[in-house]
Structure 1
């Protein structure tokens, strides 16, 4: 039995942050019902990567909405809204990511919903929080990465601001929403009362930078400075970074510089003997190391460093990793199937419960695919 079996989540969220939270709860056993517009469904069904679709919905939509059910309802229609309110009275969790004021106009704001179901956990995702000068601005992953300073951490010193290659803000915000909802569910077992859980893209993206922001606060408000070349962390001393080798690249993490240089059969130059210089002269040290690491293959350096327990790794692409034995042992992928019998390969939930991996065969639903079953299950007609 999965830990969230018996918990029902009503999801009004769209795009990535809110739906990714619903995905994790569904993976952990919750019954997640996605409330969508009749016909077209949520707008995220048309957001694509490389224009890839499965049935009428984008592959991106399928990745964030597998293992859910869909209930189509026009929230501007009185009868549909009453059915949704009846559904709300019977569920444990409700989530949405509309801008401030939208749910109030519809009549599904927290106070109204709490009056219908005092035990409900009401989860809200916003772009910038519920109040403030940006409260009603559109929140989108790239915009949040740009506004939060996050784009100034990746890339090298001379590079333009460099966004993450992932929907980083969305995905972390979804994870934070799940954390808040699970905490509120635990709290409900003690008090018998529900709660309103709020997260925002901006606050979550600031939170994942807690190391760097704390350094900034306590370091005279000096901005982070990326390494000249091979940058991996703006505040970590050499040799931390990525280096070219004779046939590829080598990542060196938290490894003492003097031990690394000694293992290479070299003497640490006198100007770098003081450990304070390992950060202040980071670029010069990394240049020094590059001059030697480039002379041998990646495997040569791995064979030298790994027996010494140095924190090093090669740079892999998807093809290399997915064909490696370590990936095969993890069994991180699974095949899901639509109601029409179309199949798609995707990733599984990364969480194990009592040693068991969590797999699910169900793909994302079509808009309104489950109306009849849900109407019967919750006696909505």
Structure 2
């Protein structure tokens, strides 16, 4: 596979870092996950993530598969020495501590790259490693709010307030940027022999995803006006319409051919000129017509009407419907392991060397003895690490 021979040390928790390292594992990398035996990976917890399959949370199963687990308490000398020894042997480190924590623990880029100058070290944080917001605590929703995206995420009808986005976009965008940054640094290492420090901000990952909505900001020095911009309810062809049975139809493309096919099909070609023009007030009569028209038929009836027409559209389906679609199965985005547990497939498709997903899930510290045997550590450190694992596993009841 594409990343065969690559070794990744994952010090991160929750979603952005683990999702990035799982992508690397899916494509052949050896990923060693470090967990504190006193406070292991939070997504293992059925209290925080109650939906489970096969005794594991769905969240954990789809962010941690194919990894090895070593239990290390980074606040102990033995745990710290183990990380330093591991860092000499790996290609990549991924961490998601708040800025300054890794340095305080003595496992920051400067400390680890001294012994391994080819190391690629990726830090994922809310607002980045520098700047006045560096030390602000935040998870996904707060960074999305700070990036202005919650303000533009509103219903196109009525006086809607900001809406929580249904997926953790800052977490996932920063995860994908982390993967991209790591691979860029590894590519450059082939020439220079040097690694690099990759600073990924969840906040900036959302800012970077915004070029299509920045016209009024960069061009006019103002926030987008709701119902006047193309992606904020002001375009008839980028909008959501309620059907007679309280379902919804989404229109998703405003090219002339799609506009023509829709309005000629509905017998109202007089709207074509306005709807192919700038978003805003010129679209409002067409939007009003479409709202009234879509409420005359059920979702199923509209699905039949759209069939065979060259128009960008989709019914607004539930998450369960989406993941049951034949297309999802055919493309391998949902598959089951031998025990019948569901997994998210790889969205990166290669013709040569496609992903070979290892669905094995690491138990807390299950690979500790094997991994520390590979390291240049004293017998005392070996004993301290294993004792910490065994005593804390007994205390938490994990196996």
When the two structures are superposed, what TM-score results if normalisation uses the length of structure 2? 0.84
Q: Aligned match of 2:263 in 243, 261, 264?
A: 261
Counterpart among 353, 361, 366 of residue 363 in structure 2: 366
Q: Tell me the secondary structure at the aligned position of residue 9 of structure 1.
A: strand
Deviations 1:156-183 (A, max 9, x none): 1511111211111101101100000000
| Alignment of structure 1 residues 1-16 onto 2, 5 Å | 2-16=1-15
Task: State the secondary structure of the residue aligned to 1:94.
Answer: strand
Q: 1:324 to 1:44 in 2, by over 3 A?
A: closer
- Give 1:241 deviation, angstroms: 1.1
**Residue in 2 aligned with 1:211?**
212
Q: What is the correspondence of 1:84-233 to structure 2 with a 5 Å cutoff?
A: 84-157=83-156, 158-213=159-214, 215-227=215-227, 233=231
Unaligned runs of 5+ in 2: 379-399
**Partners in 1 of 2:322 and 2:36 — Cα distance?**
40
**Counterparts of 2:284 and 2:352, CA distance in 1:** 44
2:238 is equivalent to residue 237 of structure 1: no
Range that drifts further, 184-193 or 39-48: 39-48
The Cα shift of 1:52 comes to: 3.1
Deviations 1:124-179 (A, max 9, x none): 11111112222111120111111111112223151111121111110110110000
* Aligned 8 A contact 2:70 2:367 in 1: yes
Residue-by-residue CA offset, 1:265-318 (whole Å, 9 max, x unaligned): 224269x74854653333332111122232234454444445341112222223
CA contact 1:129–1:200 (8 Å) conserved in 2: yes
1:146–1:163 CA contact under 8 A, matched in 2: no
How far does residue 245 in structure 1 lie from its aligned partner after superposition? 2.6
Deviation, 1:92, is 0.3
- Pick which of 255-264 and 94-103 moved more: 255-264
* Secondary structure in structure 2 of the residue aligned to 1:358: coil
Following superposition of structure 1 onto structure 2, how do residues 37-76 of structure 1 map, counting pairs within 5 Å? Answer: 37-46=36-45, 51-53=50-52, 58-76=57-75
What CA distance in whole angstroms lies between the structure 2 residues aligned with 1:307 and 1:317?
23
- Could you tell me how far 1:356 is from its partner in structure 2? 6.5
Deviation, 1:259, is 4.3
| Contact 1:226–1:233, Cα closer than 8 Å, also in 2 | no
SS in 2 for 1:353: coil
Q: 1:328 to 1:16 in 2, by over 3 A?
A: closer
Q: Which residue of 2 aligns with 1:28?
A: 27
* Count of matched residue positions in the alignment of Structure 1 and Structure 2: 372
After alignment, is 356-365 or 215-224 more displaced? 356-365
- Which whole-Å deviations, capped at 9, do the CAs of 1:96-148 have from their partners, x for residues lacking one? 11112111111112111110100000101111111222211112011111111
SS at match of 1:224: coil
Secondary structure in structure 2 of the residue aligned to 1:364? coil
Give 3-state SS (helix, strand or coil) of 1:152's partner. Answer: coil
CA offsets 1:331-352 (integer angstroms, 9 cap, x no match): 3223358xxxx76322122222
Runs (4+) off by over 6 Å: 54-57
Q: For 2:343 and 2:240, how far apart are their aligned partners in 1?
A: 29
- Deviation (angstroms), 1:234: 1.5
Q: Which moved more, 1:254-263 or 1:188-197?
A: 254-263
Task: Say whether the 8 Å CA contact 1:12–1:95 is kept in structure 2.
Answer: yes
Query: Under a length normalisation based on structure 1, what TM-score does the superposition of the two structures give?
Result: 0.88
Contact kept in structure 2, 1:128 and 1:203, CA below 8 Å:
yes
Superposed CA deviations along residues 77-103 of structure 1, whole A, max 9, x for unmatched, are 222322221111011001111112111
